[in-house]
Structure 1
Amino acid sequence: MKLKVLVDTNIIIGKRNALFNLLKNYDLIFSDLVVAEVMEVIRENVLESMKKNKSEVANKYLAFGREFLKMLYQLNVQLEYPNIKDFIEAFEVMHNRDVDAVDAVLAVIAKRQGVSVLSNDKDWDRLKDYANRVSV
């Protein structure tokens, strides 16, 4: 049985060259916030690459984004949506644990779902009581 994990943005961006093979090892949950954050990171990288006249690099980011979204669709990946109670709790977590808003929301979702978080972000060490961090 595969470990059920909520996937953090840094895994998707940081492991993009091996992402699809890596994710096959887990039972995946994605937050809509992470998908939007990935899209924004890709957008920023495309714009930066274009400013530097590196259209080939920009096209690689665009291709990755399309493949990532296609993979989510084809695998019928579970998307987890935060509710207002999650945001209320995450607001306190964000300030008390000194983590960004998305990580705070993910921590609350992970705790509610009883799942681990797939992340290489050391900020998760401050969120141990919310979710176990699985790093790769």
Structure 2
Amino acid sequence: MKLDVIYDPTEDDIAKVTTGLRSYNLPFLEHIPSETFVCLLKEQNIVLAGCVARLFGQWIKIEYVWVDDASRGKGIGGKLLEELENVGRQKGCKRALVDTLSFQALPFYQKQGYVKQMSLEDYPVDDMQLHFLTKSLV
């Protein structure tokens, strides 16, 4: 038996692990609905803001929220969250989950009704934190 540590893995190296894990998980998770979607806000076909979320059973996991610097402070982020939460409700989601680093958007999510559940201190380095927040959609 030989253990290799690969610091610059190929897509095939990564696929060997992810395919194996997905195969193991399948009997436990295959009946749970799951899909990814994107909301984009455009002006004259230029994307000013967007979000990526994953519906997973009764949860919606917000993966990414981005608003162009020039468009910040205009309520666009709140509108994006509202829209993705509405999509989640339509698909049967009862709760939403998001994580954010300390320099990102903790106050923004709290203003939108998200409640901090947990924080990891010194993540990914000293003096930063990773916060996990949830919101009830019902």
Q: How high is the TM-score relative to the length of structure 2?
A: 0.29
Name which one, 1 or 2, has greater alpha-carbon Rg. Answer: 2
More helix by share: 1
More strand by share: 2
Greater RCO, CA 8 A, separation 6+: 1
Q: How high is the TM-score relative to the length of structure 1?
A: 0.30
